[in-house]
Amino acid sequence: MNDYNVLDIEKMVRSIVKDMKMEMVKSKEDESKDDESDSFGIFEDMNEAIKAAALSQRLYLRYSLKKRSEIVNSIRVELLKNIEQLSKMGVEETGMGRYEDKILKNKLAIEKSPGIEDLKPEVDTGDGGLTLYEMSPFGVIGSITPSTNPTETVICNTIGMLAAGNSVVFSPHPSAKKVTALIVKIINKAIEKVDGPKNLVVTVKEPSIENTNLMLAHEKVNMICATGGPGIVKIALSSGKKAIGAGAGNPPVVVDETADVEKAAIDIIDGCSFDNNLPCIAEKEVIVVDKVADKLMECMANYCAMKITDIKLLNKLEKLVLNEKGKINKKFVGKNADYIMEHLGIKIDPRIRVIFAEVDKDHPFAVEELMMPILPIIRVANVDRAIELAIKLENGNRHTAIMHSKNIDNLSKFAKDVQTTIFVKNAPSYAGIGFGTEGHSTFTIAGPTGEGLTSAKTFTRKRRCVLADTFSIK
């Protein structure tokens, strides 16, 4: 995983951007040829958007699997051409995250979200004939997307939902409405380019709570997929429809005395600082055994991170990034470490990606899902205490946990007891979504409803097709 440390990330981004320059020029030329009468999936009215997506899905059902695959591939190609603009706009419009990391996240979603190959049939054969089980589309899916991964979620949802034969209505966070409209437009153009149906992917110009509620209740919407905090997951699960809930996380990291401490420090900072800690999978607190705690912090401080030792400064930082109720101050979510420190009147090297401090186990920095590059470190006596505390701080989200250890018994114990959807051993958290590792990627990780790392098959209905008395050649 050290293939993906901070310096390498910068190199990778430069080469991706260079490769795309030529394609960008070409896509700009295409843009000037836009048909004014085509909405490219963007509607004033949510009802009209849903109606169009429902009609489109009926047409889409008649398309061959070959065409479906062509549509998905065209979407991947066009999104890749526009990755620079989408990543830039994602940061600028939401005011959160890092451009170079958004490029990597978007690229990961474009390239590693599975297509139609994910829809594997099952079969029973025997004297009674042949019974086939197929993964059929659900119909129209209403997808609610977060501000923290505005384009990444649209990309993986679109690829998975369309590969499964559905159409999709996106209801984004209002703070990401422009970039969502842009990506929906690019996707519709990509579909039209290979003669696919119009309005397979739609959204509204002005997303709002009212529009989301309308979508949740609409008779033509067959499935809801909500990616966001606990509030929206609860709302989605109360919709009376089949709902996939991808909720909040507060991923703990456990480091025991057998860990490669130097590597653990690098992995933790790389994971925690990725897109300024916005990903729901990112390291949010570290629990380290006393024996290696000092060494771990020393290694972290030697690698793009700054330790706060002054308790007064720590209190000031707490007052800055949390409100009176102890909840996060959204002004600092997804911001750079130097931006945060500047608000305390302290100038730090912009290359410092994480601020960390040793804190008590009940400190709000450990309990709250901060989504800022501020990392609390908690020292405990031994690995059993560490696992116990990590489970408590994970807070039953069943989301993500990380451990640095060479002891397979310790690794197994934590993995089994914490019950998270993702468990990463000896790597940065992003290894858990297939970044530089095996396995597919997604930015919709459904812990509360149990689908786990979503993909095309998640967005299907299992149907049975029976042929009596024949076609068995056993």
Q: Is 280 a catalytic residue?
A: yes
Nearest residue to 336 (alpha-carbon basis) of 99, 69, 75, 61: 99
Q: How would you classify the pairing of strands 242-246 and 223-227?
A: parallel
Q: Amino acid identity, residue 72?
A: V
Q: Which of 156, 225, 272, 280 is catalytic?
A: 280
Residue nearest to ligand NAD (CB): 228
Nearest residue to 158 (alpha-carbon basis) of 148, 143, 173, 171: 143
Burial of 392 (0-12, 13-18, 19+ CB in 10 A): middle
Q: List strands edge to edge, sheet with 140-144.
A: 42-43, 201-204, 167-171, 140-144, 223-227, 242-246
Dihedral sign computed on CA atoms, order 389, 393, 394, 395: positive
Residue 246 or 264: the one with the smaller Cβ distance to ligand NAD is 246
Contact 230, 280 (CB under 8 A): no
Rounded CA-CA distance 37/426 in Å is 53
Contact 218, 47 (CB under 8 A): yes
Dihedral sign computed on CA atoms, order 291, 293, 296, 298: negative
Nearest residue to 432 (alpha-carbon basis) of 230, 274, 317: 274
- In the chain, DSSP finds a helix count (H) and a strand count (E) of 16, 18
CA dihedral 28, 30, 32, 35 (to 10 degrees): -140
Helix axes 99-112, 6-31, angle to 10 degrees: 70
Q: How would you classify the pairing of strands 400-404 and 460-468?
A: unpaired
Residue 165 or 448: the one with the smaller Cβ distance to ligand NAD is 448
Q: How would you classify the pairing of strands 201-204 and 129-137?
A: unpaired
Residues that bind ligand NAD (CB under 6 A): 144-149, 172-173, 209, 212, 227-229, 231-232, 235, 246-249, 280, 369, 443-445
What is the DSSP secondary-structure string of 263-285? HHHHHHHHHHHGGGG-STTS--E
Residue 24 or 367: the one with the smaller Cβ distance to ligand NAD is 367
Q: Amino acid identity, residue 419?
A: Q
Instruction: Classify each residue of 289-322 as buried b or exposed e, where b means 16 or more C-beta atoms within 10 Å of its C-beta.
Output: beebbebbbebbbebbbbebeeeeebebbbeebb
- Minimum distance from residue 442 beta carbon to ligand NAD (Å): 7
- Supply the residues annotated as catalytic: 280
